Amino acid sequence: MKSSSTNFNRRQFIGQTACAGLGLAGALSTIGTLRLFNATLSAQGLPPGGPGDDKSLICLFLYGGNDANNILVPRDTAGYAAYQRDRGILALERDTLLPLSLPDGDGRDFGLHPAMSALHPLFQTDKLALICNVGTLVAPITKAEYLSGGAAVPPHLFSHNDQQVQWQTSVPDSPLKVGWGGRLADLLQSLNAGSQVSMNISIAGSNFFQVGNQVLQYHVTPQGSIGLSQYNETWSPVKEQYQALDQILGKSYGHAFEAEYAAIMNRAVANDTLLKSVLSTIPAYTNKFPNSTVAGGGLNRVASQLRMILRMIEARTALGMKRQIFFAALGGFDTHDAQLEDHDALLREFSSACADFHQATVDLGIAEKVTLFTASDFNRTYNSNGKGSDHAWGGHHLVLGGAVRGGRLYGDVPTLEIQGPDDTGSRGSWIPKISTDEMAATLARWFGVAESDLPLVLPNIGRFSTTDLGFMNG
């Protein structure tokens, strides 16, 4: 319905449309960052970027601290008995676990959480891998060093906000909030030369993962682009308001702040117009998520985000993009209470959506070009607080896609023993054996970063033993 009111002052208009059009929290503070970080990164050693060389990387962040101890559970007799004893009310029934066929095991037998039944076949058919005991690290550390204080540990280890930032930046010992996905886009942006839309697109709001020195994250919703309401309206009062805005933005400004604000607004308006036009030609793909529907016929939270990502990937040619980095998220993993029920529901939602998404990429012939990985604040304690569990450290993460060398556990499953060799204390908080840097480096190499350029994306990577954990083909 058209509004007949024209009582809309300039300050209200620009304030509201800026928030809608930018899709980037902290845009004003970013202006300073853009001025300070103006260096051009080397793109030597990059792949040629020829036809068919497009790739998409998706970070699915599980906010709150996912209980990885109930994602991968011991099934052998001795291992399960110890698990059942130490986890107490959090222990899953052994006969409900989804068994894994592991080619190179350590003698232990493991199963997946029963709520992950949609993803279980993808592990069995080598499209899903589990990266074990990953966490934020300043450098490798032993239990003795941790207890003695003889080695640096990430600051504020068990704090949600701090660990989310550190996972997304992969530089826990730096105050700079520049994400490794942002640095990745900075390095590879030449592959999207001529594209108007940012390489970094978030479907889940602001995040540190996609903050770059040069590349800005662009926000869309599960329904599409965020833009100015009725921007192309021909109705006279609305048209006149937007014509006035265009005139304001089209002026030449001598003040750096004003010039940058106008440039950002112009870019936001242009991106929204382009994206709406391109997405209008892409199918809705709601039918690609048959196992992710909710009451009323809509899609669950994760599926609705992944559906938009699927559409954006299908729009890559029209948008002139050979590389795309996406951010999606699911909250609710801070399970201090009612953990068994809440975690079960979260895993079912996450698993069905990811399995449907992968099958959609197979149907569209792009599975080899799309890789999804999970991240989370931290793991949760092995023992219970009575109703749930508390904040811990190293956990397991999933990598899914046609190029994944799946069906395997990468890294070492910790010794699942309270006060054991991998426990920081007395509750089962595992010291990570794989750093977020090593996991990120493996993904960055697949995405097209040359070995020599990895420190540009992951400044601390030289402190760790490997840049390739082996879970990606190509």
Confidence label for 150 from pLDDT (cuts 50, 70 and 90): confident
Tens digits of residue pLDDT in 384-441: 999 999 999 999 999 999 999 999 999 999 999 999 999 999 999 999 999 999 999 9
Per-position b or e across 285-296, b if 16+ CB within 10 A of its CB: beebbeebeeee
Tens digits of residue pLDDT in 211-238: 999 999 999 999 999 877 666 666 556 6
Tens digits of residue pLDDT in 442-464: 999 999 999 999 999 999 999 99
Confidence label for 181 from pLDDT (cuts 50, 70 and 90): very high
Q: What is the pLDDT of residue 235?
A: 57
Return d(Cα 256, Cα 77) in angstroms, integer: 68
What's the whole-number mean pLDDT along residues 460-472? 97
Q: What is the pLDDT of residue 230?
A: 65
What's the whole-number mean pLDDT along residues 234-253? 71
Q: What is the pLDDT of residue 47?
A: 43
Provide the token pair at 370: 């799309």
DSSP symbol at 331: -
Q: What is the pLDDT of residue 428?
A: 97
Per-position b or e across 87-101, b if 16+ CB within 10 A of its CB: beebbbebeebbebe
Return d(Cα 266, Cα 228) in angstroms, integer: 12
Task: Write down the pTM of the prediction.
Answer: 0.87
**pLDDT over 70 (residue 180):** yes
Q: What is the pLDDT of residue 238?
A: 63
Return d(Cα 383, Cα 394) in angstroms, integer: 15
Confidence label for 10 from pLDDT (cuts 50, 70 and 90): very low
Q: What is the pLDDT of residue 107?
A: 78
Return d(Cα 453, Cα 374) in angstroms, integer: 24
Least confident residue range of 13-27, 168-182, 416-430: 13-27
Tens digits of residue pLDDT in 51-68: 468 999 999 999 999 999
Return d(Cα 469, Cα 474) in angstroms, integer: 13
Confidence label for 46 from pLDDT (cuts 50, 70 and 90): very low
Return d(Cα 208, Cα 169) in angstroms, integer: 7
**pLDDT over 50 (residue 292):** yes
Least confident residue range of 170-174, 195-199, 245-249: 245-249
Least confident residue range of 5-14, 46-55, 154-163, 200-209: 5-14
Confidence label for 263 from pLDDT (cuts 50, 70 and 90): confident
Mean residue pLDDT across the chain: 88
**pLDDT over 60 (residue 1):** no
**pLDDT over 60 (residue 19):** no
CA dihedral 143, 65, 99, 104 (to 10 degrees): -40
Q: What is the pLDDT of residue 42?
A: 34
**pLDDT over 60 (residue 157):** yes
DSSP symbol at 460: T
Closest by Cα among 212, 181, 257 to 28: 257
Return d(Cα 424, Cα 286) in angstroms, integer: 45
Domains in the chain with CATH codes:
54-229+291-463 (3.40.720)
**pLDDT over 50 (residue 50):** no
Confidence label for 25 from pLDDT (cuts 50, 70 and 90): very low
